[in-house]
Structure 1
Amino acid sequence: MSMNRALKPVLAVGLCAGSLLCYAVTAQAAEGWRNPSLSPDERARLLVQELTLDERIGLLHGPMALSFPGGPPLPAGSVGGAGFIPGVPRLGIPALTETDASLGITNPGNVRPGDTATALPASIALAASFNAPLAYQGGVMIGREAAARGFNVLLAGGANLARDPRNGRNFEYLGEDPLLAGVLAGESIRGIQDQNIISTVKHFSLNGQETGRFHANSVIDEAAHRESDLLAFQIAIERGQPGSVMCAYNLVNGAYSCGNDHLLNKVLKGDWGYKGWVMSDWGAVHATDYALKGLDQQSGEQLDEQVWFGEPLKQAVAAGTIPETRLSDMAQRILRSMFAAGLFDGKPVKPEIDAAAHAAIAKQVADEGIVLLANAKGLLPLSPAVRTIAVIGGHADSGVLSGAGSSQVTATGGNARVVPVGGEGPQAMWGRQVFHPSSPLKALRAVLPDASITFNDGRYPAAAAAAAAQADIAIIFANQWMAEALDAYDLSLPQGQDALIDAVTAANPNSIVVLQTGGPVLMPWLDKVGGVIAAWYSGQKGGEAIADVLTGRVNPSGRLPQTFPASLDQFPRADLPGWGLPAKQQFDVVYDEGADVGYRLFAARDMKPLFPFGHGLSYTSFAYDKLRVRGGDTLTVSFEVSNTGAVAGKDAPQVYLADAAGTPLRRLIGFDKVELAPGEHRTVTVKADPRLLGHFDEAANKWQIKGGSYTVVVGPSAGVDSLSAKARVRAQRLKP
């Protein structure tokens, strides 16, 4: 302890002896950073002063907590998982134990032998629910399961927009709209952090494809970036207050994301006033001077060329090329998030896990995320009179497909089936199709005990067609396996499944297709089938959810969070940038569509998609009425939703801006999820985030909202306007 620090309590007593108020002040001064009544910022400021130089640097880098053949054992005190940052025992600073957790607690390489966890459906399914409270519940569930295993940092909160439907990680993200993605990511993060767990938001920013992901340079105009991908992150951060932001692998406008001064210092920490810390993605650090450019922590250091934030950082501080004040800021940001999450203050014992309750949350996400895309022949829900059903393909006898990569969860009950895909390189370990143990075939047999239900694996289309010809109904499961580090080549169903569907529907036109995909696919057979549902990757209870939707035990309420195109040519880049280039060669991905992502681009170019953003059918019908729009500094929209059908159901009404002071456009400015009995009606009110009404003025570095008349439409999707009204909005400028 320094002399000055030791004298502070003594001097305080001498200056105001005998005063009760002074006694309280003296006690607080003596307690310092341990005082829970102080703000996380003040406690972190006080604590960082107690750290030696080596202790500060120790907080700024760490390894993966995984064991490799011939490599070192797991770090002492770690929990096997994605990462580990040692603590400072002499000051009671806990270690950071990190796990991938977008869709549940992962167990990479079975590092925790036999450990399984509740597998949530893919994030794209959560996005399809249009249900913000459900996102929060999923976050709570993952947070509790993390705490039970001793983790305190979850690498969750994927908020990247789906700019290219071939992106291998779109299933981990929340669709193409910044409001939908930002709100649901923020609510999931908030649910996690309410369990005294730190969550990230990732991958910041424009991590729009997996092809050449370490060398792709995302090029975009600043205003367009602010109005699209950055706005999704900004909304997620405002709602969820994540303790950390994970930067991405790719470059953004010529600078690597994790060493991007503009992105990290100017936008995130400057304009947005973000107080937490920026951690790197695993293997995304290329230099020590990233510390000056806004990066606070090097993660998964074994994957980088060297431990840049170890000895090289210490030498840079000694040489004065990186100020010691910046080093302290880096450590203080980490400590601040740890205090904010309650990691110091009597964190409760590991919670007991109610596996059934957690499985029920996964089931609800699947129930509300499944989208009924088409039902032209009215085959759904399946009639009780159906006596014979042929279930075909998709490994539906075993389980439901999941996406691959670092988010892969070993579901409760273990893997039902693993089908090797093959491949080379560091990502080859993910080259396998994993099926969660929830068989749609078994679930259908359970809910339709009087029907004869057969299964054909679909390997031979002629054999599948013969089986379908003998049944009242054929249900074809079609899979598109998507994976981290691997984009889809196109939007066809792989391995000849389109031909399989053609053969089966020719034999039995009463055929239903169940899509298990990570995003949109083309449907050249659409006019031949009786119905189509998008089940995505449906998680722990996916088989039961699919069976319940097919039979009407659950009324489908999912809505598309991504536009399904009629052709890949409707997207800005028909050829995937970087495909076929030599390894390590940088290339540009030019986002010249700007902020017009997905349905916004379809509206701007007057293109007709196969299915529009927000689309989804129900077994009942809904009507909208009594629209009222109030203007002012923003738009407040209220309207009535009525269930005009014969059965109970959930609707996801959507509010779009159609004209802004004379400029036609299409922007989602509000949504809700309502459950209604037949004949019931309810008033929905949404207040628009004013940023969605305006544009970003780069020169002024502010949001600008023009004064004038604004047109609002309400409907069931971005392609259908049920109601329309106008109101006037005042001109204003808002901070960035």
Structure 2
Amino acid sequence: MLKKFVFLSLITLTYTASIAQNITTPTYLDETKPVEQRVQDALSRMTLEEKVAMLHAQSKFSSAGVPRLGIPEFWTTDGPHGVRAEVKWDEWDQAGWTNDSIVAFPALTALAATWNKKMSWNYGKALGEEARYRKKDILLGPGINIYRTPLNGRNFEYMGEDPYLTSKMAVPYIQGVQSNGVATSVKHFAFNNQEMFRHTSNVKVDDRAMYEIYLPAFKAAVTEGDSWTIMGAYDKYKDQYSSQNQYLLNDILKGEWNYKGVVISDWGAVNNTEQAIKNGLDLEFGSWTNGLSAGTKNAYDNYYLAQPYLNLIKSGKVGTKELDDKVSRLLNLAYKTTMNKNKPFGSIASEEHKTVAKQVGEEGIVLLKNDKNILPIDLNKVKTIAVIGENAIKMMTVGGGSSSLKAKYEILPLDGIKSRFAKEAEVKFARGYVGDPRGEYNGVKSGQDLKDDRPADVLLNEAVDLAKKSDFVIFVGGLNKSDHQDAEGADRKSYGLPYNQDNLIAALTKANKNFAVVLVSGNAVAMPWVKDVPAIVQAWYLGSEAGHSLASVLSGDTNPSGKLPFTFPVKLEDNAAHRLGEYPGNKEELAAGKGKNQENPINISYNEGIFVGYRWHDTQKIKPQFSFGHGLSYTTFAFGKAKSDKTTMTQDDKITFTFTVKNTGRKAGAEVAQLYIADLKSSVPRPSKELKGFEKVFLNPGEEKEVSITIDKTALSFFDADKHSWVAEPGDFEALIGNASDNIQTKVKFTLQ
């Protein structure tokens, strides 16, 4: 019996082996074949139902693969400055995992303020490693919408007001993230420049402003950064919602820019099946559909690109051309992410990531004002330090919307200051004001309970008394990530500081002249006390290493080198969108109640056109509180006279400007050399100058370096809407070089033939 069993087993093995030799490995699994051929093979093997299933979510943050063919599902995650905590499959509630805590990196305003392209790549690489370790395939960031108004609650997630700076900082971020086999999803394409009415607005912007201000960073992200996905916005443009928009997605993105990647909807941004099919959307997430009322088991089956799409195909009302294009894009994405066997394993909360977070924070902090050089704090003279303000003790990694994080740790400003100064000086704290004492957002609990029921005058008097008894006072205030401040879903209600901080600051200026105000925010704020405060520091939201980064700058261990990525106007009316444009929408329509639902969207006209930020202030000679590109140092720098390699350039030529930057002080530091271009005579209105180049230069005391910046005619061009093309008009131009938009140090004239 045993012999018979062995004999039959041998026959079976031989037969199986002979069959196996005749089986051809599917091309889509054969890594020796070109990806395009593999995609077509996989596409040919998929059923209609499998194709449609790939186009929409299957949970809050995942979409389906094709299990039968071994094609994995996609997992997405927020956000731009840290990997979001896990939520339940069908709900926004926390999943309750114990291994989803991460390093929180500084918000993108802080990254942009470094003006350091290499730092942006380091940031992206570290963030991508954390996403990869958490098995995420698509990171929902970076946010690159233009800073149009200081009231936008989501400005802290973006990179400022200038399309050139945003482009140059976004591209290395994207490349760093994607080096881990994790796709970025640049967002929100396009015109998500305010949170109020974001679901119910129709943006009216002229073509010139669109191409010169609001689209360049997106174009750079996909044509230079090769972002594998891009996210549509909520708002309407030309009466079509951005996530299903013929003009933005088909004509411009996939047409003019020849984009081959995947277009993802923002969560809940889709509302029409036929438009979603035809107008460029590839992957639908977050649609608010109710599966039970529609009689199905799964709400995701009712997404616009789900069963409704399948029904249209089966009824013959639409074909499968768009379907195959969408699935092909998703399969191409899979070969770069989920089916990429060469991607690294990633890492989380590593020492390298903590270092990156700290360095970005240090380089991003902007020293706005420093009268009599009272900073850095001189410990030969200072033995008692008063730290005042709620933001010194409030966690800022939690809150703000979808970018809220479950950080492994967060060094608070007070803790960072104590850690750095306590051995040499006594550090005491007073609350000063009560803002938002809560410590929970969207199910993530910070563990803090900052409740304090004492009256405001008691808190103020306590702070003033401490200030009078101290050698140095550090006020840490600003905004926070509560609703109507720096937070998704709502805009700020006013330009001023909340929680009566202005009165507290005014009282502290009288109590002690050795006084520094530290603003924690992602937005500009009004400063009625600016002339009375000797030192002002813009500290942003600095993530896990916030306290260490801040203390390093206050102590002088780090020489501040951050520069503002947007203008601080003196008052809100100095901002062009508020002076000329419509915010938050058309006044007559506001009065009529429009914007309350998608059936009655409100129009928002960008009447200021191209004159956004410093382009408006500089051209109209409106003095800002602090200018675009502004940022002081603990040392001094001198610019040598700039020269060009030619005085006349042709349309196909390039021109290089060369100049020196010298550290004329006693401390090592970094300066950002900024090159602006002015068109001295134009047939159309143009800003007085526009940023077209920058380099960050690190110098020891007395050291001098030569800097060269090369431009071509694209730096001289404007968008001609009538011709629908970029035009560089022959004539005289001027290169303006300095360290802020309002501090030009040297100029060079040249002519374009």
TM-score by length of 2: 0.85
Structure 1 residue 403, shift from structure 2 partner: 5.5
Contact 1:661 1:707 in 2 (8 A): no
Contact 1:292 1:322 in 2 (8 A): no
Contact 1:636 1:685 in 2 (8 A): yes
SS at the partner of 2:371? coil
Contact 1:183 1:239 in 2 (8 A): no
1:208 aligns with 2:193: yes
Structure 1 residue 614, shift from structure 2 partner: 0.2
Q: 1:39 to 1:571 in 2, by over 3 A?
A: farther
SS at the partner of 2:203? strand
Q: 1:467 to 1:643 in 2, by over 3 A?
A: same
Matched residue type, 1:337? L
* Deviations 1:623-652 (CA, angstroms, capped at 9, x unpaired): 111422344434432222111111100111
Structure 1 residue 38, shift from structure 2 partner: 4.6
Contact 1:363 1:542 in 2 (8 A): yes
1:103 aligns with 2:81: yes
| Corresponding residue of 2:530 | 526
Quick check: 631-640 or 307-316, which moved more? 631-640
Q: What aligned pairs does 1:81-120 form with structure 2 within 5 A after superposition?
A: 83-107=61-85, 109-114=93-98, 115-120=100-105
Quick check: 250-259 or 535-544, which moved more? 250-259
1:565 aligns with 2:569: yes
The whole-number CA distance in structure 1 between the counterparts of 2:254 and 2:495 is: 38
1:542 aligns with 2:550: no
* Deviations 1:333-390 (CA, angstroms, capped at 9, x unpaired): 1112222x25324245633446211011000110000000000132101011201111
Contact 1:394 1:479 in 2 (8 A): no
| Corresponding residue of 2:727 | 704
Q: 1:303 to 1:568 in 2, by over 3 A?
A: farther
| Corresponding residue of 2:677 | 657
The whole-number CA distance in structure 2 between the counterparts of 1:303 and 1:406 is: 20
Contact 1:653 1:672 in 2 (8 A): yes
Q: 1:654 to 1:311 in 2, by over 3 A?
A: same
Q: 1:567 to 1:348 in 2, by over 3 A?
A: closer
SS at the partner of 1:679? coil
The whole-number CA distance in structure 1 between the counterparts of 2:342 and 2:70 is: 13
Q: What aligned pairs does 1:616-655 form with structure 2 within 5 A after superposition?
A: 616-630=631-645, 631-632=649-650, 633-655=653-675
| Corresponding residue of 2:247 | 262
Q: 1:265 to 1:675 in 2, by over 3 A?
A: same
SS at the partner of 1:258? helix
Quick check: 390-399 or 356-365, which moved more? 390-399
1:477 aligns with 2:476: yes
Matched residue type, 1:317? I
Matched residue type, 2:334? M
The whole-number CA distance in structure 2 between the counterparts of 1:163 and 1:348 is: 38
Contact 1:157 1:186 in 2 (8 A): no
Q: What aligned pairs does 1:503-514 form with structure 2 within 5 A after superposition?
A: 503-514=507-518
Contact 2:334 2:340 in 1 (8 A): no
Among 381, 388, 399, the alignment partner of 2:384 is 388
Contact 1:122 1:403 in 2 (8 A): no
Among 411, 424, 427, the alignment partner of 1:450 is 424
The whole-number CA distance in structure 1 between the counterparts of 2:536 and 2:656 is: 36
Structure 1 residue 35, shift from structure 2 partner: 3.8
The whole-number CA distance in structure 2 between the counterparts of 1:138 and 1:705 is: 35
| Corresponding residue of 1:136 | 121
Q: 1:358 to 1:689 in 2, by over 3 A?
A: farther
1:276 aligns with 2:265: no
Q: What aligned pairs does 1:246-257 form with structure 2 within 5 A after superposition?
A: 246-257=231-242
Structure 1 residue 400, shift from structure 2 partner: 5.0
Q: What aligned pairs does 1:296-695 form with structure 2 within 5 A after superposition?
A: 296-302=282-288, 306-339=302-335, 341-348=336-343, 350-353=345-348, 355-384=350-379, 385-397=381-393, 399=395, 404-413=400-409, 437-448=410-421, 449-459=423-433, 460-481=459-480, 482-574=486-578, 576-578=583-585, 581=593, 583-584=596-597, 585-630=600-645, 631-632=649-650, 633-659=653-679, 661-662=681-682, 665-688=688-711, 690-695=713-718
Contact 1:215 1:587 in 2 (8 A): yes
SS at the partner of 1:653? strand
Matched residue type, 2:427? I
The whole-number CA distance in structure 2 between the counterparts of 1:61 and 1:660 is: 52
Contact 1:63 1:302 in 2 (8 A): no
Q: 1:395 to 1:226 in 2, by over 3 A?
A: closer
Contact 1:402 1:539 in 2 (8 A): no
* Deviations 1:36-88 (CA, angstroms, capped at 9, x unpaired): 355444432332222111111011001443xxxxxxxxxxxxxxxxx101111
SS at the partner of 1:528? coil
Q: 1:370 to 1:347 in 2, by over 3 A?
A: same
* Deviations 1:493-535 (CA, angstroms, capped at 9, x unpaired): 1010111101111111221100001110011001111100000
Contact 2:195 2:488 in 1 (8 A): yes
Structure 1 segments (4+ residues) deviating >4 Å: 302-306, 398-403, 578-582, 660-664
Structure 1 residue 685, shift from structure 2 partner: 2.1
Matched residue type, 1:712? A
Q: What aligned pairs does 1:187-198 form with structure 2 within 5 A after superposition?
A: 187-198=172-183
Q: 1:639 to 1:64 in 2, by over 3 A?
A: farther
Contact 1:710 1:729 in 2 (8 A): yes
| Corresponding residue of 1:713 | 736
| Corresponding residue of 2:49 | 54
- Alignment RMSD: 2.1
Task: Count matched residues.
Answer: 663
The whole-number CA distance in structure 1 between the counterparts of 2:364 and 2:167 is: 17
Matched residue type, 2:708? T
Matched residue type, 1:111? A
| Corresponding residue of 1:425 | none
Contact 1:140 1:188 in 2 (8 A): yes
Contact 1:635 1:729 in 2 (8 A): no
Contact 2:627 2:741 in 1 (8 A): yes
Identity of aligned residues (%): 36
Q: 1:401 to 1:275 in 2, by over 3 A?
A: closer
Contact 1:189 1:199 in 2 (8 A): yes
The whole-number CA distance in structure 2 between the counterparts of 1:292 and 1:240 is: 26
Structure 1 residue 708, shift from structure 2 partner: 2.3
* Deviations 1:205-235 (CA, angstroms, capped at 9, x unpaired): 0101000110111110112101111111111
* Deviations 1:628-684 (CA, angstroms, capped at 9, x unpaired): 234443443222211111110011111001225546631100111121111112222
Contact 2:56 2:285 in 1 (8 A): yes
* Deviations 1:295-345 (CA, angstroms, capped at 9, x unpaired): 111112346894111111112223344321111001111112222x25324
TM-score by length of 1: 0.87
